[in-house]
């Protein structure tokens, strides 16, 4: 993923998280950088840096870094490049919804569940070919895994149904569809 995409996501949230993803055997798989809500695979030619070094690359002044949430670590789950146990395909619905807190993409799983993902996390993948989405769950948290071919490009935490932003989004969706239905019935 281009560093400018990662920079934009991090600056919007004032968060930076650097994860080394490893498989169950402990083999190193790659570095992912992003926010607490989404991490993105780095381009192979970009050097591996510490979170503070990434902030320098992003042009964040030293005095501003204290306002940021900064973290790093190693993860075997859910940032796992292979097929994750229990992973199921998530199909993008042709629906982009905007409410007072931003734009969201709606996905549907084979089980009929609907997932709402902030549009800003998915914009980088609009021009890639052969992009596939999968739902993963780890320790009670759902994630959307974004793959281009066999490469894991990103892992995005999916907000829960009781999240205030999701409740507001459902309210907006219902009002739009009820208004459209009312117009058709008149």
User: Would you list the domain boundaries of the chain?
Assistant: 3-75, 88-185
pLDDT above 90 (res 8): no
Angle of CA points 150, 41, 70, to nearest 5°: 150
% of the chain exceeding 90 in pLDDT: 13
**How high is the pLDDT of residue 166?**
78
Phi, then psi, of 54 in degrees rounded to 5: -60, -40
**How high is the pLDDT of residue 1?**
62
Distance CA 107, CA 144 (A): 9
**How high is the pLDDT of residue 41?**
83
**How high is the pLDDT of residue 48?**
81
DSSP helix, strand, coil percent of the chain (3-state; round to 5): 30, 40, 30
pLDDT above 60 (res 183): no
**pLDDT tens digits, 107-118:** 877 777 778 888
Phi, then psi, of 179 in degrees rounded to 5: -65, -45
* pLDDT averaged over every residue in the chain: 78
**pLDDT tens digits, 53-89:** 999 999 999 999 999 999 888 776 656 555 676 777 7
CA-to-CA dists, residue 37 to 23, 40, 118, 155, angstroms: 21, 10, 9, 8
Q: Which of 5-9, 70-74, 79-83, 102-106 has the lowest mean pLDDT?
A: 79-83
Q: Is the pTM of this model over 0.75?
A: no
**How high is the pLDDT of residue 98?**
64
**pLDDT tens digits, 116-171:** 888 888 887 877 778 888 888 878 888 888 887 767 888 888 887 777 877 887 77
Contact by Cβ (8 Å): 22, 28: yes
User: CB within 8 A of 8, min separation 6: which ones?
Assistant: 120
Contact by Cβ (8 Å): 116, 171: no
């Amino acid at each position: 993923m281009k560093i400018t995409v990662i920079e934009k996501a991090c600056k919007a949230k004032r968060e930076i998280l650097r994860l080394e993803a490893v498989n169950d055997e402990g083999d190193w798989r790659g570095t992912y950088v992003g926010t607490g809500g989404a991490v993105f695979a780095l381009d192979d030619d970009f050097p591996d840096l510490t979170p503070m070094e990434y902030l320098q690359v992003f042009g964040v002044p030293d005095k501003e870094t204290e306002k940021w949430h900064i973290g790093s670590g190693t993860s075997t789950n859910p940032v796992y490049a292979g097929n994750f146990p229990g992973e199921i395909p998530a199909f993008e619905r042709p629906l982009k919804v905007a409410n007072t807190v931003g734009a969201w993409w709606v996905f549907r799983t084979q089980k009929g569940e609907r997932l709402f993902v902030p549009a800003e996390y998915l914009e980088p993948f609009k021009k890639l070919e052969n992009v596939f989405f999968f739902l993963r769950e780890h320790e009670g948290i759902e994630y959307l895994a974004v793959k281009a071919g066999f490469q894991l490009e990103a892992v995005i935490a999916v907000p829960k149904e009781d999240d205030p932003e999701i409740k507001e989004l459902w309210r907006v969706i219902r009002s739009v569809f009820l208004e459209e239905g009312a117009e058709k019935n008149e």
